[in-house]
Amino acid sequence: MRWIFLPLGLCALVAVGAHAAADVVGAQVLWLVDRADAFFDAIFSRWSFTAPLVDLVGLAERTVFARGVALVWELCADFFIALPMLGYDERPVDEELALFRALSRESGKRPSLRLVRPLAALATGIAGARSVARMVQGSVQLALHFSALAQLVAAAVLLSLLVLFVPRAALRSLEHADGLKRPGVVAAVVLAPLVAAAVAAFLR
Amino acid sequence: MTRRLAIAELLASALCLWAAWYHTPAGALLRSVGARIFAVRTSAQPLLAYYSAGVYGGRIAAAPALAGPVPPAQALGYGVQAALADLDAGERTQLGLSSAQPPQIASQLRALAVRLGSEEAAVLALFCGEEPARYARDHADSDSLEDLARQLPPRYADRIALASQALMLGGAYALSWPLPESVHITSPFGVRDHPVLGGRKPHNGVDLGVPIGTLVRASGAGIVRRASSDSQNGRILVLDHGRGVVTVYCHNDELLVRDGQRVDKGQPISRSGNSGRSTGPHLHYQLDLAGQPVDPLRYRATKPKVALGAED
């Protein structure tokens, strides 16, 4: 059964982390959309033939548009880093460590944009672990009304995910990035801000 | 040892899947597709509602007709009552609010706010219970409902949505009018014949006919989210009052505040004008709740008179 639940668990962990990261920057995305909307409205409204474009993202649509941007960003991140987790193939620990060292050494020799993927997988994995632990803590606390137990369970979950899952997510992403023919400029553009957002989500 | 580790990994995987299933748009997408295939009901929210911790998602509850002016101290009580309008009698009884009126709800909220430290936590306590609200308050970074909601497990999602509706509607009831009440409405909210473009088009706010240079006041405390100019909206101000409440003021002659500035309720923010796509001096005043324009008169007992022969 491990061949199915480990890849699924890794994929889910990264997806939870990507959502935590996308959610934390909601206000900033809205701010950016507002700035961009004001900028383009000022330009498009100068000429009668471009004036209808001002209403394309009107005042009423900007919140939906900003949330849509966050959603598309998150789904792209899921595509670039969470889906490849389904290809995780478990090996003995010493083999995984050796593979990790070899891939890290290789990437260190010729650093490229493809390194953004494992970095993002690592950051979202950590943010996801924090998010899952927080949900578990809330559920245990509000079901059993026992604060110390809830904290203990959450700490155990966080530690388990950080030790058992996050390194595997980084390794799988490194392995996947190494197998790519192109460095992936689009993926790097999508994932680089996600790394910062995931760090913010973890620290929140 | 290996067996124990395998069990730990299985449990960790199950927890990750549970979190992703209930807490991410991707999970909601899969749940919706699954529900469609197997023709069953799903509790998945709309995808965009997964941001801001599910706050301000879905439709806006209908505002009941007001019998008289809303005292500012009771605005939140009216907001709760309006949010409850969507629930059936059984659910209202379960919350202990089956026959409560806004003044009683407001006083209950004040007592809860004293115990929990904020209005947001008080409203959350009203809908989710005091223990979850206390837990959320103890673990959240701020008093905002988004932050409080992030601390609670997925089973509270529906109640959090109700709490956000109550806070938002309470915020709408608490707004004042940006111009003297004696100013007439020259074009009401709703679909109308567009005076410049022609054809039936929605009008997302109300137009208030005032001479150029009339002082416009902030209808509530908030932050200037946008202070810009274009040839459609003219000199435009967008104020974010928090809790999903935003007001918009278009066609101004002069803006008195700048982007990012914090403003108080009643503070002069602009001088009205005739800038942008406008056929006469007026202020276009718009109220957005959760990003959707609504008729600002729905949240007022005293309504300005509508002028005859009105146009934008």
Written as one string, the DSSP assignment of chain A is -HHHHHHHHHHHHHHHHHHHHHHHTHHHHHHHHHHHHHHHHHHHTTSTTTGGGGGTT-TTTHHHHHHHHHHHHHHHHIIIIIGGGGG-----HHHHHHHHHHHHHHHHHS--GGGHHHHHHHHHHHHHHHHHHHHHHHHHHHHH--HHHHHHHHHHHHHHIIIIIHHHHHHHHHHHHHT-SS--HHHHHHHHHHHHHHHHHHH-
Residue B312 pLDDT more than 50? no
Banded pLDDT at B257 (limits 50, 70, 90): very high
Question: What pLDDT score was predicted for residue B195?
Answer: 67
Residue A160 pLDDT more than 50? yes
Question: What pLDDT score was predicted for residue B92?
Answer: 80
- Span B174-189, average pLDDT: 92
CA B71/CA B151 separation, integer angstroms = 32
Please write the tens of the pLDDT for every residue from B14-29.
999 999 998 899 999 9
Please tell me if residue A17 touches chain B, with a CB cutoff of 8 Å. Answer: no
Question: What pLDDT score was predicted for residue A162?
Answer: 96
Please write the tens of the pLDDT for every residue from A82-92.
999 999 988 88
Banded pLDDT at A19 (limits 50, 70, 90): very high
| Predicted complex: ipTM over 0.95 | no
Question: What pLDDT score was predicted for residue B191?
Answer: 79
Residue A153 pLDDT more than 80? yes
Map A18-66 to HEC letters: HHHHHHHCHHHHHHHHHHHHHHHHHHHCCCCCCHHHHHCCCCCCHHHHH
Percent of chain A past pLDDT 70, that is, above it, reads: 97
Q: What is the mean pLDDT of chain B?
A: 88
Return the closest-CA partner of residue B122 out of B173, B72, B79, B60: B79
Residues 203-222 (B) with a CB less than 8 A from some CB of A: 204
Question: What pLDDT score was predicted for residue A100?
Answer: 85
Please tell me if residue B142 touches chain A, with a CB cutoff of 8 Å. Answer: no
Question: What pLDDT score was predicted for residue B310?
Answer: 57
For the record, the structure tokens of B6 come out as 């395998």
Mode of pairing for the β-strands spanning B283-289 and B292-294: antiparallel
Please write the tens of the pLDDT for every residue from B80-107.
999 888 778 888 888 777 777 889 999 9
CA A178/CA A148 separation, integer angstroms = 44
Please write the tens of the pLDDT for every residue from A33-46.
888 888 888 888 77
Please tell me if residue B88 touches chain A, with a CB cutoff of 8 Å. Answer: no
Question: What pLDDT score was predicted for residue B309?
Answer: 60
Please write the tens of the pLDDT for every residue from B54-84.
677 667 777 777 878 888 889 999 999 998 8
Residue B164 phi/psi, 5° resolution?
-65, -35
Residue A49 phi/psi, 5° resolution?
-75, -20
pLDDT greater at residue B12 or residue B49:
B12
Question: What pLDDT score was predicted for residue A35?
Answer: 84
Q: Find which of A104-118, B112-126, B222-236, B287-301 is predicted with most confidence, using mean pLDDT.
A: B112-126
Question: What pLDDT score was predicted for residue B311?
Answer: 47
Banded pLDDT at B198 (limits 50, 70, 90): low
Q: Which residues of B touch A21 (CB under 8 A)?
A: none
Please write the tens of the pLDDT for every residue from B287-311.
999 888 899 999 988 878 777 665 4
CB of B244 within 8 A of CB of B168? Answer: yes
Q: How far is B12 from chain A (nearest CA, A)?
A: 7
Please tell me if residue B9 touches chain A, with a CB cutoff of 8 Å. Answer: yes
Q: Which residues of B touch A204 (CB under 8 A)?
A: 141
Question: What pLDDT score was predicted for residue B45?
Answer: 77
Residue A99 pLDDT more than 90? no
> How distant, in Å, are the alpha carbons of A41, B35, B203, B246 from that of B287?
20, 36, 12, 6
CA B170/CA A101 separation, integer angstroms = 58
User: Across the interface, do A142 and B24 touch by the CB < 8 Å criterion?
Assistant: no
Residues 92-151 (A) with a CB less than 8 A from some CB of B: 128, 131-132, 134-136, 138-139, 141-142, 145
